Amino acid sequence: MNNQPEIAHTQSLLDKHLPPDIFEKLKDLQTGSGFTLHDAVRSGRENPDSSVGIYAGDAETYRVFSEILDPMINEYHRFSNDRRHMSDLSPTPLEDPDPEHLYIVSTRIRAARNLDGFAFTPFISLTARRKVEQLFLKAVSDYRLAANSRYIAYENLSDKEFQTLAQSLPLFRKGDRFQESAGINRDFPKARGVFFSDHGGLLAWVNEEDHLRIISMDQGSDISGAFTRIADLLTFLENRINFAKDSRYGYLNACPSNIGTAMRAGVHIRLPGLDRQRNTLYRTAEKMNLQVRGTGGEKTGIRDSIFDISNKQRLGITETECIRTLHNGVAALIRMEQQLSGSL
Ligand code: ADP
Ligand code: DAR
Protein backbone atom coordinates (compact mmCIF):
# COMPACT_ATOMS: atom_id res chain seq x y z
CA MET A 1 0.00 0.00 0.00
CA ASN A 2 1.38 3.37 -0.94
CA ASN A 3 2.23 4.97 2.37
CA GLN A 4 1.70 8.54 1.08
CA PRO A 5 -1.64 10.20 1.91
CA GLU A 6 -3.29 9.66 -1.46
CA ILE A 7 -5.07 12.93 -2.08
CA ALA A 8 -6.77 12.09 -5.35
CA HIS A 9 -5.66 14.71 -7.88
CA THR A 10 -5.20 13.69 -11.48
CA GLN A 11 -3.68 16.99 -12.60
CA SER A 12 -2.21 20.10 -10.97
CA LEU A 13 -4.21 23.27 -10.69
CA LEU A 14 -1.65 24.74 -13.09
CA ASP A 15 -2.33 22.21 -15.83
CA LYS A 16 -6.06 22.66 -15.32
CA HIS A 17 -5.97 26.45 -15.58
CA LEU A 18 -3.13 27.09 -18.04
CA PRO A 19 -4.17 25.67 -21.40
CA PRO A 20 -1.72 26.19 -24.30
CA ASP A 21 -3.61 29.17 -25.75
CA ILE A 22 -3.41 31.11 -22.47
CA PHE A 23 0.27 30.16 -22.11
CA GLU A 24 0.98 31.55 -25.60
CA LYS A 25 -0.85 34.75 -24.69
CA LEU A 26 1.02 35.30 -21.40
CA LYS A 27 4.43 33.72 -22.03
CA ASP A 28 6.27 37.00 -22.69
CA LEU A 29 4.84 38.84 -19.70
CA GLN A 30 6.98 39.53 -16.64
CA THR A 31 6.72 41.43 -13.37
CA GLY A 32 8.64 44.65 -12.68
CA SER A 33 11.44 42.64 -11.05
CA GLY A 34 11.71 40.45 -14.18
CA PHE A 35 9.88 37.35 -12.91
CA THR A 36 8.44 35.54 -15.93
CA LEU A 37 5.71 32.99 -16.54
CA HIS A 38 8.44 30.41 -17.24
CA ASP A 39 9.86 31.11 -13.76
CA ALA A 40 6.42 30.76 -12.18
CA VAL A 41 5.51 27.43 -13.78
CA ARG A 42 8.96 25.76 -13.77
CA SER A 43 8.22 23.70 -10.64
CA GLY A 44 4.92 22.41 -11.98
CA ARG A 45 6.43 21.57 -15.36
CA GLU A 46 9.45 19.77 -13.84
CA ASN A 47 7.27 17.96 -11.27
CA PRO A 48 4.15 16.67 -13.06
CA ASP A 49 2.83 15.27 -9.76
CA SER A 50 2.48 18.81 -8.36
CA SER A 51 -0.87 19.59 -6.78
CA VAL A 52 -0.65 23.34 -7.36
CA GLY A 53 2.31 23.70 -9.75
CA ILE A 54 3.01 27.44 -9.63
CA TYR A 55 4.98 29.76 -7.32
CA ALA A 56 4.93 33.57 -7.20
CA GLY A 57 8.27 35.38 -7.42
CA ASP A 58 6.90 38.60 -5.93
CA ALA A 59 3.63 40.25 -4.94
CA GLU A 60 3.17 41.59 -8.50
CA THR A 61 2.98 38.03 -9.84
CA TYR A 62 -0.60 37.88 -8.54
CA ARG A 63 -1.55 40.89 -10.69
CA VAL A 64 0.48 40.21 -13.84
CA PHE A 65 -0.59 36.54 -14.05
CA SER A 66 -4.07 36.98 -12.57
CA GLU A 67 -5.66 35.29 -15.62
CA ILE A 68 -4.12 32.02 -14.43
CA LEU A 69 -3.88 32.60 -10.69
CA ASP A 70 -7.41 33.87 -10.06
CA PRO A 71 -9.17 30.66 -11.18
CA MET A 72 -6.54 28.51 -9.41
CA ILE A 73 -7.06 30.48 -6.19
CA ASN A 74 -10.85 30.36 -6.49
CA GLU A 75 -10.73 26.59 -6.88
CA TYR A 76 -8.18 25.85 -4.13
CA HIS A 77 -9.75 28.15 -1.52
CA ARG A 78 -13.41 27.75 -2.61
CA PHE A 79 -13.20 31.53 -3.18
CA SER A 80 -14.84 33.87 -5.72
CA ASN A 81 -13.95 37.16 -7.39
CA ASP A 82 -16.59 39.13 -5.44
CA ARG A 83 -15.09 38.20 -2.04
CA ARG A 84 -12.22 39.67 0.01
CA HIS A 85 -9.86 38.44 2.70
CA MET A 86 -11.03 38.98 6.28
CA SER A 87 -8.75 38.63 9.31
CA ASP A 88 -9.71 37.77 12.91
CA LEU A 89 -7.06 36.88 15.48
CA SER A 90 -9.28 37.32 18.56
CA PRO A 91 -8.93 34.78 21.39
CA THR A 92 -11.06 31.73 20.62
CA PRO A 93 -11.81 29.36 23.53
CA LEU A 94 -12.40 25.83 22.26
CA GLU A 95 -13.30 22.66 24.14
CA ASP A 96 -10.48 20.11 24.19
CA PRO A 97 -11.40 17.68 21.37
CA ASP A 98 -9.33 14.93 23.02
CA PRO A 99 -9.73 15.41 26.81
CA GLU A 100 -8.37 11.93 27.59
CA HIS A 101 -5.34 12.54 25.36
CA LEU A 102 -5.91 9.29 23.47
CA TYR A 103 -5.52 10.55 19.88
CA ILE A 104 -3.93 13.98 19.43
CA VAL A 105 -0.15 13.89 19.82
CA SER A 106 0.63 17.55 19.13
CA THR A 107 -0.75 20.81 17.80
CA ARG A 108 0.98 23.20 15.36
CA ILE A 109 -0.35 26.44 13.90
CA ARG A 110 1.72 28.34 11.33
CA ALA A 111 1.26 31.48 9.26
CA ALA A 112 3.34 32.59 6.27
CA ARG A 113 4.47 36.19 5.80
CA ASN A 114 6.62 38.01 3.22
CA LEU A 115 8.14 41.46 3.70
CA ASP A 116 6.64 44.09 1.40
CA GLY A 117 9.01 45.39 -1.27
CA PHE A 118 11.15 42.22 -1.44
CA ALA A 119 11.05 39.46 -4.02
CA PHE A 120 9.68 36.16 -2.67
CA THR A 121 11.97 33.16 -2.07
CA PRO A 122 11.76 31.78 -5.65
CA PHE A 123 13.30 34.99 -6.99
CA ILE A 124 15.02 36.81 -4.12
CA SER A 125 18.77 37.61 -4.26
CA LEU A 126 21.13 36.55 -1.46
CA THR A 127 21.66 40.21 -0.53
CA ALA A 128 17.92 40.73 -0.19
CA ARG A 129 17.53 37.47 1.78
CA ARG A 130 20.08 38.76 4.27
CA LYS A 131 18.19 42.07 4.51
CA VAL A 132 14.96 40.17 5.23
CA GLU A 133 16.75 38.21 7.98
CA GLN A 134 18.16 41.40 9.53
CA LEU A 135 14.87 43.31 9.38
CA PHE A 136 12.98 40.45 11.04
CA LEU A 137 15.57 39.98 13.81
CA LYS A 138 15.51 43.73 14.50
CA ALA A 139 11.72 43.79 14.62
CA VAL A 140 11.51 40.81 17.00
CA SER A 141 14.44 41.88 19.19
CA ASP A 142 12.18 43.24 21.94
CA TYR A 143 9.42 40.64 21.77
CA ARG A 144 8.23 39.51 25.24
CA LEU A 145 11.14 38.19 27.35
CA ALA A 146 13.66 38.98 24.62
CA ALA A 147 16.64 37.95 26.75
CA ASN A 148 15.31 34.37 26.71
CA SER A 149 14.92 34.23 22.93
CA ARG A 150 17.55 33.01 20.47
CA TYR A 151 18.24 32.78 16.73
CA ILE A 152 19.94 29.75 15.18
CA ALA A 153 21.65 30.93 11.97
CA TYR A 154 22.08 27.90 9.73
CA GLU A 155 25.26 29.06 8.02
CA ASN A 156 27.06 29.13 11.37
CA LEU A 157 26.41 25.40 11.91
CA SER A 158 28.40 22.39 10.70
CA ASP A 159 26.30 19.54 9.25
CA LYS A 160 26.87 17.57 12.45
CA GLU A 161 25.78 20.47 14.63
CA PHE A 162 22.64 20.94 12.51
CA GLN A 163 21.74 17.24 12.67
CA THR A 164 22.21 17.23 16.44
CA LEU A 165 20.00 20.31 16.97
CA ALA A 166 17.37 19.01 14.51
CA GLN A 167 16.87 15.94 16.71
CA SER A 168 15.31 18.05 19.47
CA LEU A 169 14.26 21.31 17.81
CA PRO A 170 11.67 22.00 15.03
CA LEU A 171 14.24 23.16 12.46
CA PHE A 172 13.42 23.19 8.75
CA ARG A 173 15.51 21.41 6.15
CA LYS A 174 16.43 22.30 2.57
CA GLY A 175 13.30 22.41 0.40
CA ASP A 176 11.91 19.44 -1.55
CA ARG A 177 12.19 18.93 -5.31
CA PHE A 178 9.20 21.21 -5.90
CA GLN A 179 10.91 24.04 -4.06
CA GLU A 180 14.25 23.17 -5.72
CA SER A 181 12.68 23.58 -9.18
CA ALA A 182 11.13 26.88 -8.11
CA GLY A 183 14.52 28.28 -7.08
CA ILE A 184 13.64 28.46 -3.39
CA ASN A 185 16.75 26.51 -2.34
CA ARG A 186 19.24 28.91 -3.95
CA ASP A 187 22.16 29.86 -1.63
CA PHE A 188 20.96 27.38 1.06
CA PRO A 189 21.83 27.53 3.98
CA LYS A 190 22.86 31.21 3.73
CA ALA A 191 20.51 33.74 5.40
CA ARG A 192 18.32 30.93 6.77
CA GLY A 193 17.60 30.31 10.42
CA VAL A 194 15.10 29.73 13.20
CA PHE A 195 14.08 32.26 15.85
CA PHE A 196 12.85 30.87 19.17
CA SER A 197 10.92 33.23 21.47
CA ASP A 198 11.07 32.91 25.27
CA HIS A 199 8.26 30.31 24.92
CA GLY A 200 9.93 27.29 23.28
CA GLY A 201 6.75 26.53 21.34
CA LEU A 202 6.61 29.94 19.59
CA LEU A 203 9.15 30.27 16.79
CA ALA A 204 9.79 31.59 13.30
CA TRP A 205 11.42 29.95 10.32
CA VAL A 206 13.36 32.60 8.36
CA ASN A 207 13.69 32.25 4.56
CA GLU A 208 12.21 28.77 4.24
CA GLU A 209 9.43 28.65 1.60
CA ASP A 210 8.49 32.21 2.55
CA HIS A 211 10.44 35.01 4.24
CA LEU A 212 8.76 34.08 7.53
CA ARG A 213 6.82 31.11 8.82
CA ILE A 214 5.51 32.06 12.28
CA ILE A 215 4.86 28.85 14.21
CA SER A 216 3.15 28.01 17.49
CA MET A 217 3.34 24.39 18.54
CA ASP A 218 3.06 22.18 21.59
CA GLN A 219 2.47 18.61 22.65
CA GLY A 220 -1.20 17.76 23.18
CA SER A 221 -4.46 19.21 21.91
CA ASP A 222 -4.62 22.80 23.20
CA ILE A 223 -5.54 24.37 19.86
CA SER A 224 -6.85 27.52 21.51
CA GLY A 225 -3.64 28.04 23.51
CA ALA A 226 -1.45 27.61 20.44
CA PHE A 227 -3.66 30.10 18.60
CA THR A 228 -3.40 32.71 21.35
CA ARG A 229 0.40 32.48 21.22
CA ILE A 230 0.71 32.82 17.45
CA ALA A 231 -1.88 35.63 17.38
CA ASP A 232 0.21 37.57 19.90
CA LEU A 233 3.39 37.34 17.82
CA LEU A 234 1.59 38.00 14.52
CA THR A 235 0.02 41.16 15.99
CA PHE A 236 3.37 42.26 17.43
CA LEU A 237 5.07 41.86 14.02
CA GLU A 238 2.19 43.49 12.12
CA ASN A 239 2.93 46.69 14.06
CA ARG A 240 6.62 46.60 13.11
CA ILE A 241 6.91 45.15 9.60
CA ASN A 242 5.08 45.96 6.36
CA PHE A 243 4.01 42.63 4.94
CA ALA A 244 3.12 41.88 1.31
CA LYS A 245 -0.65 42.14 1.37
CA ASP A 246 -3.56 42.61 -1.00
CA SER A 247 -7.05 43.94 -0.15
CA ARG A 248 -8.68 40.95 -1.85
CA TYR A 249 -6.13 38.15 -1.37
CA GLY A 250 -4.80 39.10 2.07
CA TYR A 251 -1.21 38.07 2.83
CA LEU A 252 0.65 37.24 -0.38
CA ASN A 253 3.17 34.38 -0.37
CA ALA A 254 5.18 32.17 -2.70
CA CYS A 255 2.48 29.49 -3.10
CA PRO A 256 -1.12 30.46 -3.99
CA SER A 257 -2.27 27.83 -1.47
CA ASN A 258 -0.75 30.03 1.25
CA ILE A 259 -2.47 33.39 0.83
CA GLY A 260 -5.29 35.10 2.75
CA THR A 261 -4.67 34.16 6.38
CA ALA A 262 -1.79 32.00 5.13
CA MET A 263 -2.57 29.97 8.24
CA ARG A 264 -2.36 26.21 8.50
CA ALA A 265 -3.65 24.97 11.86
CA GLY A 266 -3.04 21.30 12.36
CA VAL A 267 -2.66 18.38 14.69
CA HIS A 268 -0.68 15.18 14.62
CA ILE A 269 -3.37 12.64 15.44
CA ARG A 270 -3.10 8.86 15.81
CA LEU A 271 -6.02 7.16 14.00
CA PRO A 272 -5.27 3.42 13.73
CA GLY A 273 -8.83 2.48 12.74
CA LEU A 274 -9.09 5.13 10.02
CA ASP A 275 -5.56 4.22 8.93
CA ARG A 276 -7.06 0.92 7.79
CA GLN A 277 -9.77 2.83 5.87
CA ARG A 278 -7.74 5.66 4.41
CA ASN A 279 -10.11 6.43 1.55
CA THR A 280 -12.87 7.00 4.13
CA LEU A 281 -10.52 9.33 5.99
CA TYR A 282 -9.59 11.27 2.85
CA ARG A 283 -13.20 11.60 1.67
CA THR A 284 -14.35 12.74 5.13
CA ALA A 285 -11.46 15.21 5.40
CA GLU A 286 -12.26 16.69 1.97
CA LYS A 287 -15.91 17.14 2.96
CA MET A 288 -14.84 18.94 6.17
CA ASN A 289 -12.44 21.22 4.24
CA LEU A 290 -9.45 19.55 5.90
CA GLN A 291 -6.09 18.59 4.41
CA VAL A 292 -4.31 15.29 5.24
CA ARG A 293 -0.52 15.28 5.21
CA GLY A 294 2.06 12.70 6.24
CA THR A 295 3.68 12.38 9.64
CA GLY A 296 6.83 14.12 8.38
CA GLY A 297 4.91 16.89 6.66
CA GLU A 298 3.82 17.52 3.11
CA LYS A 299 4.26 14.66 0.67
CA THR A 300 5.65 12.28 3.29
CA GLY A 301 4.31 8.92 4.45
CA ILE A 302 2.33 7.87 7.51
CA ARG A 303 4.20 6.48 10.52
CA ASP A 304 2.49 4.73 13.44
CA SER A 305 -0.96 5.76 12.08
CA ILE A 306 -0.16 9.41 12.89
CA PHE A 307 -1.76 11.79 10.38
CA ASP A 308 -1.19 15.53 9.99
CA ILE A 309 -4.72 16.95 9.78
CA SER A 310 -5.19 20.69 9.14
CA ASN A 311 -7.45 23.29 7.54
CA LYS A 312 -7.05 23.24 3.75
CA GLN A 313 -8.60 26.64 2.99
CA ARG A 314 -6.49 29.65 3.98
CA LEU A 315 -8.34 32.40 2.10
CA GLY A 316 -12.03 33.24 2.42
CA ILE A 317 -12.03 32.29 6.11
CA THR A 318 -10.58 34.16 9.08
CA GLU A 319 -7.87 32.81 11.38
CA THR A 320 -10.45 31.96 14.07
CA GLU A 321 -12.44 30.07 11.41
CA CYS A 322 -9.27 28.17 10.47
CA ILE A 323 -8.97 26.80 14.00
CA ARG A 324 -12.71 26.17 14.29
CA THR A 325 -12.57 24.16 11.05
CA LEU A 326 -9.70 22.13 12.52
CA HIS A 327 -11.39 21.72 15.92
CA ASN A 328 -14.75 20.59 14.53
CA GLY A 329 -13.12 18.31 11.96
CA VAL A 330 -10.83 16.62 14.44
CA ALA A 331 -13.69 16.10 16.92
CA ALA A 332 -15.65 14.35 14.14
CA LEU A 333 -12.67 12.16 13.19
CA ILE A 334 -12.18 11.15 16.82
CA ARG A 335 -15.87 10.14 17.02
CA MET A 336 -15.40 8.05 13.84
CA GLU A 337 -12.28 6.44 15.32
CA GLN A 338 -14.18 5.63 18.53
CA GLN A 339 -17.01 4.04 16.54
CA LEU A 340 -14.50 1.94 14.63
CA SER A 341 -12.88 0.78 17.86
CA GLY A 342 -16.29 0.15 19.46
CA SER A 343 -15.61 2.58 22.29
CA LEU A 344 -18.69 4.70 21.40
P1 ADP B 1 4.17 23.64 6.61
O2 ADP B 1 5.28 24.44 7.18
O3 ADP B 1 3.52 24.23 5.41
O4 ADP B 1 3.16 23.26 7.66
P5 ADP B 1 4.94 20.80 6.35
O6 ADP B 1 3.63 20.15 6.15
O7 ADP B 1 6.09 20.27 5.54
O8 ADP B 1 4.92 22.35 6.03
O9 ADP B 1 5.32 20.67 7.93
C10 ADP B 1 6.54 21.23 8.34
C11 ADP B 1 7.12 20.42 9.49
O12 ADP B 1 6.25 20.55 10.65
C13 ADP B 1 7.23 18.93 9.21
O14 ADP B 1 8.47 18.47 9.75
C15 ADP B 1 6.08 18.34 9.98
O16 ADP B 1 6.36 17.01 10.42
C17 ADP B 1 5.96 19.27 11.17
N18 ADP B 1 4.61 19.31 11.71
C19 ADP B 1 3.48 19.62 11.07
N20 ADP B 1 2.42 19.54 11.89
C21 ADP B 1 2.90 19.17 13.11
C22 ADP B 1 2.31 18.89 14.38
N23 ADP B 1 0.98 19.00 14.60
N24 ADP B 1 3.13 18.52 15.40
C25 ADP B 1 4.46 18.39 15.21
N26 ADP B 1 5.09 18.65 14.04
C27 ADP B 1 4.31 19.02 13.00
N1 DAR C 1 4.54 21.02 -3.74
C2 DAR C 1 3.87 22.06 -4.51
C3 DAR C 1 3.19 23.06 -3.54
C4 DAR C 1 1.91 22.56 -2.92
C5 DAR C 1 1.43 23.38 -1.73
N6 DAR C 1 2.42 23.28 -0.62
C7 DAR C 1 3.33 24.22 -0.37
N8 DAR C 1 3.29 25.41 -0.93
N9 DAR C 1 4.28 23.96 0.49
C10 DAR C 1 2.83 21.42 -5.44
O11 DAR C 1 2.38 22.11 -6.34
O12 DAR C 1 2.52 20.25 -5.21
Q: Summarize pLDDT for 31-67 with one digit per residue, the tens.
A: 999 999 999 999 999 999 999 999 999 999 999 999 9
Closest among 292, 272, 286, 279 to 340, alpha carbons compared? 272
Q: Summarize the confidence of residues 65-94 as an average pLDDT.
A: 96
Distance, CA 221 to ligand 1 centroid (Å)? 15
Question: Per-residue pLDDT for 343 more than 90?
Answer: no
Question: Per-residue pLDDT for 1 more than 90?
Answer: no
Beta-carbon contacts of residue 100 (< 8 Å; ≥ 6 apart): none
Percentage of residues of the chain with pLDDT beyond 70:
97
**For ligand 2, is residue 11 a contact (CB within 6 Å)?**
no
- Which has more pLDDT, 210 or 199? 210
Half-sphere exposure of residue 307, counting CA atoms within 13 Å on the CB side?
Answer: 27
Nearest ligand to the C-alpha atom of residue 309: 1
Cα gap 56→11, rounded to integer Å = 19
**For ligand 2, is residue 181 a contact (CB within 6 Å)?**
no
**Which atom of ligand 1 sits closest to the CA of residue 107?**
23
**For ligand 1, is residue 216 a contact (CB within 6 Å)?**
no
| All structural domains of the chain | 13-77 (1.10.135.10), 104-341 (3.30.590.10)
Nearest ligand to the C-alpha atom of residue 208: 1
